[in-house]
Amino acid sequence: MLNTEAEILFEVRDDLGVMTLNRPKALNALSTGMIREMERVLPVWESDPAVKAVIVQGAGGKAFCAGGDVAFLAREARDNPTGTGRRDFFREEYIVNRRIYRFAKPWISLVDGIDMGGGVGLSVHGTYSIATEKFLFAMPETAIALFPDVGGGYFLNRLPGALGVFLALTGHRLKAADALWAGIVQAYVPSEKLVAVTAALAAANFSGTPTPRKVATAVASLVEDPGEPTLPAMMDDIDRCFSAETVEEIIAKLKARGGEWAEKQLTIMGRMSPLSLKITLEQLRRCANRSFEDVMTIEYRMSQACMKPGHDFFEGVRAVLIDKDQKPKFTPTTLAEVTPAMVDDHFRPVDNDLFFG
């Protein structure tokens, strides 16, 4: 029986495993329960001959997935500071991210809406993502003093030029045409054609190693042109300003560049947690040329440092998601006051460290 009240739905039909994120009122933000269900069902689907590919989608027509249930994490730190919920959430989420990255069958995301933060970890590491006109991507974590996790250290480092650094530090949003240009999604299909996409995938033959090519062939007749991307005209500025060793250097380059675009990026970064900007740039540096598994170990350590009571993360969640005053009081207030020791504290081994054998 399919329980349509559940936060996440799993259904096998026409040789496909269909996973539906089902918290539409919370934009399908990921709870520990949803993640735990994934790690219960996905290993079964991975070895079940009745499942030839997995399709992931979000319920409600607005979001694929807005991220993690960060309000829960903030609540636990306040009400039960010694609780294990913050540890379990990130640990189990990253294990799922890694399962998707290594999944033995095609992992196909139908991204018909908001795809941010933790949602990106469910889509971008798979075989093939399809965006619609409702698609909206971002890694917005520096606004809540987190960092672009769920494998951000892996995929952002593989984007063209300094695009990954730009997306990580500013939380810049991409629509389908830009995400397609950047390689974050593999195809554009109008929302109204997604039913036909599922039918085409059900009719397809997937055997052997899952590759984007095999999925592309199956959906070729449904794919459309999303229009002109905006990123190509921005890439010179992005590469010039966001290729730097330090956040201060990026700020200096944007000030030297001047003009409307550079001023806008300075304003946006001025609202972010200074500590978060610095740990994020350090994350990308440390994760460059590392295996997916090494990246998840680094990010797990970072996540646990961010979950310690008193971290900027809790003020970020309060200001952006709970009180919604959009005026976080981050400490330190300035980049200059963020010491190398504060940054290094996010990269130390932790108790019950996350390693993949």
Nearer to ligand QUE, 25 or 289 (CB): 25
CA dist 143 and 313 (Å) reads 9
Nearer to ligand QUE, 114 or 200 (CB): 114
Q: What is the dihedral of CA 289, 292, 298, 303, to 10 degrees?
A: 140
Measured at the alpha carbon of residue 345, what is the angle toward residues 344 and 347, in degrees to the nearest 5? Answer: 65
Nearer to ligand QUE, 69 or 237 (CB): 69
**Nearest CA to 338 among 311, 314, 299?**
311
- Beta pairing class for 63-65 and 114-116: parallel
CB of 318 to ligand QUE, least distance (A): 12
Nearer to ligand QUE, 68 or 153 (CB): 68
CB of 356 to ligand QUE, least distance (A): 24
Nearer to ligand QUE, 25 or 340 (CB): 25
From the CB of residue 350, how many other CB atoms can be counted at a distance below 10 Å?
14
Nearer to ligand QUE, 17 or 316 (CB): 316
CB of 187 to ligand QUE, least distance (A): 25
CB of 142 to ligand QUE, least distance (A): 8
Name the strand (E) or helix (H) holding 32. helix 32-47
Residues paired with residue 224 on neighbouring β-strands, in sequence order: 188
User: Which residues form the interface with ligand QUE (CB under 6 A)?
Assistant: 26-27, 29, 66-71, 117-118, 140-141, 143-144, 146, 320-321
Helix, strand or coil for residue 18?
Answer: strand
CB of 182 to ligand QUE, least distance (A): 19
CB of 40 to ligand QUE, least distance (A): 22
- Active site positions, annotated: 68, 118, 141, 149
- Spell 161-188 as b/e; 16+ CB within 10 A means b: ebbbbbbbbbbbebbbbbbbbbebbbbb
C-alpha separations of 255 from 161, 214, 244, 265 in Å: 20, 46, 14, 10
CB of 301 to ligand QUE, least distance (A): 18
Measured at the alpha carbon of residue 196, what is the angle toward residues 194 and 200, in degrees to the nearest 5? Answer: 115
Nearer to ligand QUE, 177 or 306 (CB): 306
- 155, two tokens: 């995929």
The torsion angles phi and psi of 80, rounded to 5 degrees, stand at: -150, 70
CA dist 357 and 354 (Å) reads 10
User: Which residues, other chains included, contact 195 with Cβ-Cβ below 8 Å and sequence gap of 6+?
Assistant: none
Residue whose C-beta lies closest to ligand QUE: 67
